[in-house]
Chains A and B, each alone.
Chain A
């Protein structure tokens, strides 16, 4: 795969949120506004970048038996750093809104998934590209989801009211049930677009494969 392909796969074809359905907890939890989605996305992208670089650079010296604990320590370190940094320098309102979801990046499947499936098998350069692509894909998906939810909820975007006459907030899109409904619509839209594209090219649409036989995230097939 070329570097460009490596980068863009995270944006659409293997988008961590909309295709791989990884990291659903922050996706559903914090995307009540576009700002929250952006903050969460960027924080995750930094963690992803840091963990991918470190995991990739020590991939040859980490004993296989303890690689998962090592990755978790690395990821947790970066998450704590981001947490402290945000507490110190990010706007208080953003930090409060993201709250518990920042420490929870540790268990975000996107981060561990990329460390295990990609960074541990590829060089530092490629891992950086992968982290940036995946991180950007994650961020874009979260901003899109947050933006749609915020707009449907109160007619505003990034806390700026686009429709001044919209006075009473519609709480459904910004509540938890709304998160599921809007995410479902996103997935449906994504499938519809892909199906239409495939049909134009005269092919049958095949969703990205996600079962255990083809996935290499947890090395099930490798262990002897």
Chain B
């Protein structure tokens, strides 16, 4: 250190100048990337909707209604229309509070009557359940929530195409065709309604409760829903 005296105003100014340059640079980068980031977020939501909804030609993200279900969760329904007619709803429930180690968020594709859609049944080609966010135990709870495409070296060598659409998950696909009130819901051996995984009982129930809540809310508010949000 050569200078014995500390020139505080000079140091302050120097630091200020550096910070100002940094701020200027950052605002530039921010401006450059903001549209792309926004587009990415939109794309993520619409990708989820594409996956659970049948073919539609409106913009469901602008046409939604929110209800509070019996469990106190907010369920948001996005209406999908084709030629002006409602072909299905995407029911979204976020942060249900009964997962094993946190919350579960999922999106459910519903037929106009509140039935959970199924994979590959005519009009509702893609309708199904997808879990959008979870913090369950990897490998145990996530077996009930993940639809992960696994590519193997064999696929790579043979050059086989990746599966388009949703990757099957027997626990999530189990809900297809079920409707609150009409079918048995549960993870217990309750008649034929068995949909649970040993060792991941709590996750099984959390997912089941959330899907049920979406269907139940839809069935309860069908009239309001079908009028659409204007």
Contact = CB atoms under 8 A, between A and B. Distances in A.
Q: Do A and B touch, yes or no (CB under 8 Å, in the complex)?
A: yes
Nearest to A58: B18
B184 interface: no
Nearest to A69: B15
Contact of A223 (B1, B10, B152): B1
Given A62-B14, A63-B11, A70-B18, A89 B36 contact: yes
A77 B25 contact: yes
A58 to B, nearest CB: 8
Nearest to A161: B152
Nearest to B39: A88
A189 B152 CA distance: 30
B25 to A, nearest CB: 6
Interface in B135-185: 138-139, 150-154, 156
A64 B1 contact: yes
Contacts of B61: none
Size bin of chain A's contact surface:
20 to 34
Contacts of A1: none
Interface stretch (B26-34, B121-129, B187-195, B201-209): B26-34
B19 interface: yes
Interface residues of B, number: 27
A46 to B, nearest CB: 13
A85 B1 contact: no
* Chief secondary structure at chain A's binding surface: helix
A88 B151 CA distance: 26
A99 B227 CA distance: 41
A66 B33 contact: no
A104 interface: no
Interface string B38-55: 001000100000000000
Contact of B152 (A77, A164, A168): A164
22 contacts: A63-B11, A63-B14, A65-B11, A66-B14, A66-B15, A70-B15, A73-B15, A73-B18, A80-B29, A84-B33, A85-B33, A87-B40, A88-B33, A88-B37, A160-B152, A161-B153, A164-B152, A164-B154, A169-B139, A171-B138, A174-B138, A224-B1
Q: Which A-B residue pairs are the 7 nearest by beta carbons?
A: A88-B36, A161-B152, A88-B33, A77-B22, A164-B152, A84-B33, A81-B29
